[in-house]
Amino acid sequence: MSLSIGDIAPDFTLINTDGKKISLKDYFNKQIVLLFFPFANSSTCTEEMCTMRDNMKIYEKLDANVLGISVDSHYSLKLWSEKLNLNFPLLSDFNREASAKYDSLNEIHSPGKYDYLGVSKRSAFVIGKNGKIKYAEICMHTGLQPDYEAIMKALEK
């Protein structure tokens, strides 16, 4: 299923770093930036999460919650979040359900792009308070970062 701007964002329930179940709808009091990423502790994912951490005041001014999502266990995400001193929640999609709903699960081997099957593709989605998708981006290579400027523009609309 491919999601488009204007579509209702699929709801999900995932486990946060404290082992608690968190649903997307719990965050509909603000806009939402969903960031799917392949691997905790990898260099590109670390750069992405630190970029979000360092710009959190901007996202707060734009009335947005940020959620990072990967297929890593909530145990490893907790250690990584603490190591990076992240100021937003990381959620474990260990069963790969949310990644699949957002067409962000790598299920096809494509050398040089996503060499690992069963991980989340680096993806960014902006969801409005009405639950509709305002921005959607799926990076075609694990080494790419999302377009942070486009994410900000979508939040400003």
Each residue's pLDDT tens digit, 34-71: 999 999 999 999 999 999 999 999 999 999 999 999 99
**What is the rounded CA–CA span in Å between residue 59 and residue 46?**
18
45 given a catalytic annotation: yes
Q: Which residues pair with 132 in a beta bridge?
A: 8
Closest-CA residue to 38 (of 127, 141, 136): 141
Task: Report pLDDT for 23.
Answer: 97
CB contact at 8 A, 135 and 6:
no
Domain boundaries, the chain: 13-156
Tell me which DSSP letter residue 133 carries.
E
Task: Report pLDDT for 107.
Answer: 81
Measured in whole angstroms, how far is the alpha carbon of residue 48 from the centre of its chain? 10
Task: Report pLDDT for 34.
Answer: 98
Each residue's pLDDT tens digit, 114-134: 567 889 999 999 999 999 999
- Determine which one of 3, 33, 35, 45 is catalytic: 45
Task: Report pLDDT for 106.
Answer: 87
* CATH code given to domain 13-156: 3.40.30.10
Judged by DSSP in three states, 130 sits in: coil
One-letter amino acid for residue 59 of the chain: Y
* pTM, entire model: 0.94
